[in-house]
Amino acid sequence: MPGPTLLDRRLVIVTGKGGVGKSTVSAALALLAARAGKRVLVCEVNAQERVAPLLGAAPTGSALREAVPGISTVNVNPHDSMREYGLMVVRFRAIYDAVFENRLVRYFLRVVPSLAELVMLGKILHEALEVSRGRFAARSVKLILPAKVPDLTVMCREVQIEQVLLNLLQNGFDAVVDQKGERWVRVDVSTLDGSAIISVTDSGPGIPVELRDHIGQPFFTTKEVGKGTGLGLSLSKTIAEEHGGRVEYDEERGHTRFSLVLPLARQAEAA
């Protein structure tokens, strides 16, 4: 008697290294199961959301939502999940915040080895570029990449650092996509004083001097209404600082350049 098929199982876990096709396999399995009449929930864990877009829907975030008929998606963020569970147990938000949101506990959670891992910076950059390439090609914006990325290792939460790079690439893209003349975004990777630096420079006109002091403030944006929330750089700055790094702004020959600066692995461990 034949055993149960893959789609007969209540839980299927798709895992593997970045870039091996986990999202594509998950989306395909979800579609097959839905077509077989099953109700499907695809749960991505602390990931850059890819399944919902593969299904033709917008990213759902931490709120469970139906992406297509029969298939719901959700992205489980450990911090949000811990908060939700903690509030279920503690019941009082003030007590939860006092216990879990204080600086000492947050620092402890940041240095737990299982939460932050040694990661090759080139791998994170590769994954961010894979997500962004299609957008650049579709609008004929030139993406200039380094001939070779140095072998640099950082201690970080991979998904969060990828999100920072995606934000910087998106900002560069938005700055040039509607302008006339040359349209390019260049990525550079370098080191300085024990830190790894990934810089994203665009061919846009730069940011006016009178607005530069507001860069990185929540809800501040130089984009047109409806094209930006003003939260991308603010979030990127926070993530970088939580990793012992920073996001820097400067101009290169009149062009805008944002750089993500992170301590290299040995410096991160010693800090």
In angstroms, the CA 27 to CA 64 distance is 16
pTM of the model: 0.55
Residue 43 contacts residue 76 (beta carbons within 8 Å): yes
- 92-110 confidence digits (pLDDT tens): 566 656 655 666 666 555 5
SS3 content of the chain, % helix, strand, coil (to 5): 40, 25, 35
Which DSSP symbol is given to 264? B
* pLDDT confidence band for 236 (50 / 70 / 90): confident
Nearest CA-CA partner of 26 in 66, 72, 80: 72
CA angle 12–17–21, rounded 5-degree value? 65
Q: Give the confidence band of 228 by pLDDT, cuts at 50, 70, 90.
A: very low
Question: For 217-226, what is the mean pLDDT?
Answer: 50
